Structure 1
Amino acid sequence: MLVRQALVSVACYRRHCELILVVFLAMTLSQASAGSTLAEGYSASVVDGSIETGFRMFTIYSLEKACSQPHMPVSLVAKDLELDVGDTFTLSKLLVNALDDNGEFIPSVPIVITGEVDSNVIYHDPAFDQESYVARHAGSVSFAVVYLCPSAQPVKTEFRIHVRSKSGLLPPRSSFQEGQS
C-alpha cells in the first residue's frame, strides 16, 4: 500500500520523485525482508532461465515502465544454488520464475535480491568486481527475492546458496599469488 501511494505521489511531483520513491521503496523492502540490497533486476525471461541483474538497474522512469505489465505475479519461485569451495559466481546464475494466480509463467518481472553476505561462507569484494562472489567455506546462506512493483500482498521467496567442500577454507590469498608466478 505504501508503494502504491508513493507512485501516485511520484507521478504528481516529477521533480522530486527520485527521493520520494527511494524512501518508500526502502520502507517497503525493509518490511518485506531483512538485509542489504545486493542486486536489482528481472526474473527469468524463459521458464527456468537465469535472471538479469545489476547493482542498480532501475530509475523512477524505468521502474514505472517495468511495472506496467498486464499480469502481476502472485508468487516467485527460486532454485537453490549448489557450489563448491573456490567457485566464483554471479547473482545472474540464479533461477527465479514469476507465476500468476493460475500458476502460469510471467517473463521478466522486476525483482530485488536482498540478504547479508556471510563472509565465512561466501565473499564479495566490490572494489575488485561489483558482480562476482566467491564460495569460501562450506555452509549455507539465505537470501530473499522480492517483487519490486506495488502489489496487494508482498510477493517474496527465499533461496539458499549451499557451499560444499571436503577441505574447508580456501588457502590464504597469498597462496594463489604464489601459484600464479
Structure 2
Amino acid sequence: MPRQVSTEIEGWEMEAICRLDPDICHQDFIDRMLPNPGDGKTQPSRGTLNHRRRRDRIRMRVLPWPLPAQLSYSDRQVINGLTPWQIANNTTFGLTDLSKEGIEMQEAIMYGGHFERSGANAQNDRARLDQFWINLRLVRTKFAEDSEEVRLIKNRVAVQLEKMGLEYDHRVWDV
C-alpha cells in the first residue's frame, strides 16, 4: 500500500490494491490522504470511495471480491454473460467495458429508488418523484414492462413512496 494516496484516487486503483490484500479497507486509504488537501478540496468519505470502486467495477464488468452472499443486479448480469471457459478460468477477461449509457442504465436499475432524504445532498419529495420517473422511463426504453428490471424499479419506487408517506398508485406508475 502506498504511504500517501490522492483524494482523487480512482476506483479501479483501490479495487486492485484491495484485491492484493483483503485486509485493506476504505479507512486505510483515508488515513493516507492529506488531512487538508487544499484548493477547496476535502477528503472523500468512505461512502464516496465505495461508490468509486463500485462504479468502476460496474464499468469494467468485474465482480466484487470476495463474492458477497447476495449478488446485485449488475453482478448477476456479468455472471449471466460469462462463457463456460471464463467460468472455468475464474475470469471476466474478454467482456467489454460498459459505455456511459450502460452504466447509467445499470445504476437506474440498481439504485432507481434510492435518494438522499437528509444531509447536504437531501432531495425534496418533488425532486425524488421526478427522479423516479426519469429512472423508470430510462429503463422502459430498453426493457419490457414485465421484465425483472422494470419490476425492480417499481418495487423500489413503492418502498420509497411509502417512506415519503405516499401510496403507490398503479394508475400513475404502471402506465
Q: TM-score range by the shorter chain?
A: under 0.3
Query: RCO (CA 8 Å, sep 6+): is it higher in 1 or 2?
Result: 1
TM-score, normalising length: structure 2: 0.24
More helix by share: 2
TM-score, normalising length: structure 1: 0.24
